[in-house]
Amino acid sequence: MPPAKYSRASPNVALHRPAYQSSTNNMDHADKAVDGNANMDYNNRSCTVTLDIDYTRPWWAVDLGTTMSVVAIQITNRKDAYTERLHDFTVGLTDTLPTTETPPHDLPRQVCTVYEGIFPVATQGLNCTNVFRGRYLFVQIAASVNIALGRPSFQSSNNNSRKYITADLAVDGNEEGEWTSFSCTVTTHNHSPNPWWAVDLASKLFVFQIQIANRVEVPERLHDFTVGLTNIRPTATTVPQNLPHVVCFVHPGPFPPTKKTLTCSNLARGRYLFIQIKGNADADDVLTLCEVEVYSSVNVALGQPAYQSSTHTFPYTSGNATLAVDGIAHGLFGKGSCTHTEATSSPWWAVDLGTQRLVYEIQVANRVNDHERLCNFTVGLTHTQPTKTNGPDKSPHQECLFYSGAFPATRLTLTCNKPTWGRYLFIQINASQHVLTLCEVEVYYYFDTSVIEMTGYRNDYNVDDVTDLNNATCQQVTTPESDEAFRLRVHLPTAHKHVTLTAVLDGGQCLDFPATMVYTEGDRSVLASYQNNPVFCDNQPGKCVFECDCSDMPCQYLHIVVLSAPYRQRDLCEIFVTWKDDMKTVDMPDP
């Protein structure tokens, strides 16, 4: 029986019930979320707030009085500069009162729904994925990992009089803002009008949020700065602002003497995150940072529907597939949070990610006892929901990775051989008469990226060279004297209402071939695109830009076509694909 749809006519069983939260800022107590006052203005003192230090997995919960079935909830967000604080959260139910020592994610619980992205400035109802029961309903921000902690860092200059004050102090885990704590960076006076600091994230990652802790005594030193990402290591001679980069956030004016969260206005990807002050030639700017934390993507498998080839139940645990995405990574099977199949040929487990994702990494938590049962398995993605009669290996699929040998009795991060596309992620053991057991599976994906193919009279184009944010790596583009014209095919993971494509040649010049861009309803060849009612996009000559207004038909499949051009060769160095829609705006840098 499907869950009931959200209805405001349903009684509010949370109204005036006892409420709790992980921490409390000033007088912003948990019970203000169930006081019956939905005023979104924080100054009216009817919104809850946790402490800034409670940034890892803050939570709020309400005692419903007794165990009951819940089918939907309604949430009202605040309307001011801190709207983005409510993002990427889980709604769940448990029969145990959450506390600071035992937060919701450490309790036996059921996940009602998972909300991705920033919650709108509105009152909005959310339906549970099924009918769930529990006494305590909770809302908890998704798990995040500070990917900058302990990473190599560097800055535009070091204060030689204080050699112990290095760039690494901004990622040492100590956010104390007093200078005497010796945990804040500082650059040299009179060195540069645009001092900068950078951290190496080890690989190209999407960043959606950072946190900065400023100095208490001289907070005005941190002002008018840009947060960005680049794939080239900044040095004293190659400063970030002169490198190909993506802007995450621009902060105007002075930064407060505290810790503050900044959410990227763009979903920015890169290896080196930098902070650079925008000064002038006469400025004597000094850059000081006490701590910088960087957060990447979230676990998109948490609480999602899961399936497996068969289920073996026990008196103390169901062994069902959803136990691998319940947020509990406990490795003791007797704790009741690990899956278990029957002993069959090629047993499998799968999770529905809700929509098609470009997955790059998963985390698997194995059981402690009998851990060797998890061995020689394939991780893959498919667009077809697996069933007990039609396993994932029977449908078209892409392999993320193959794990050889026995998996250890621990939790490991596994990176796909290449980013892999699909809606259903599966794990399948390649053996006969075998049992598959998983205690937790987490899935991480690229937020929204472009899958780009280049075709033409050559068949060996390297797409990475034109999508790496580095104008120094290029691909030679040739328009031959024939009907076989060069074309660039762009397939976006999801459709958008407004798409802009920027093409940059060597020397930062624009595409000077006679060219046009079209978009179509389906994934067709260039020729088929012209034969099936294409929509021609606006090309702005001299600006490297092709722009599509996709209000009539959302853009997902794009083609840049060079037709009847004279024979010539040029180096295509960079392609930026950007989009805007109702919920999200992504802006990449100008070439």
pLDDT in tens, 3-39: 444 455 578 999 999 999 988 877 889 999 999 999 9
Among 166, 300, 144, 124, residue whose Cα is nearest residue 211: 144
Which SS3 state, helix, strand or coil, does residue 460 take?
Answer: coil
Say how far apart CA 138 and CA 118 lie, in whole Å: 18
Q: In angstroms, how far is CA 465 from the centroid of its own chain?
A: 23
**What are φ and ψ of residue 572, in 5° steps?**
-90, 120
Q: Write down the pLDDT at residue 415.
A: 82
Cβ neighbours of residue 392 under 8 Å, at least 6 residues apart? 348, 350, 380, 382, 384, 386, 424, 426, 428
Q: Report the pLDDT value the prediction gives residue 554, as an integer from 0 to 100.
A: 67
First to last CA, the chain: 54
Closest CA relative to residue 551, chosen from 489, 499, 491, 494: 499
Give phi and psi for 431, each to the nearest 5.
-160, 160
Q: What domains are defined for the chain? A: 19-141 (2.60.120.260), 153-295 (2.60.120.260), 306-446 (2.60.120.260), 451-580 (2.60.120.260)
Determine the pLDDT at residue 81.
61
Q: State the Cα–Cα distance between residues 357 and 70, nearest whole angstrom.
A: 29
In percent, the amount of the chain with pLDDT more than 70 equals: 69
pLDDT at 543: 54
271 touches 231 (CB < 8 A): yes
6 contacts 87 by C-beta, under 8 angstroms: no
Quick one: which H or E segment has residue 526?
helix 526-531
**Beta bridge mates, 422:** 357
Q: What is the pLDDT of residue 375?
A: 95
Q: What is the pLDDT of residue 87?
A: 82
Other beta carbons within 10 Å of 433: 10
What stretch of H or E contains 406?
A: strand 397-406
Helix (H, G, I), strand (E, B) or coil at 84: helix
Q: What is the mean pLDDT of each run of 10 residues along the chain (591 residues)?
A: 48 94 85 94 87 65 95 90 78 90 78 81 86 92 75 86 80 84 84 86 77 90 93 89 87 89 72 87 79 80 90 87 86 87 95 79 89 94 90 88 93 80 91 92 65 54 59 63 56 64 66 60 49 56 65 68 56 63 31 28
pLDDT at residue 18 in the model: 96
Query: For position 529, what pLDDT does the model report?
Result: 46
Q: What are 233-267's pLDDT values in tens digits?
A: 999 888 898 898 888 888 999 999 988 878 776 55
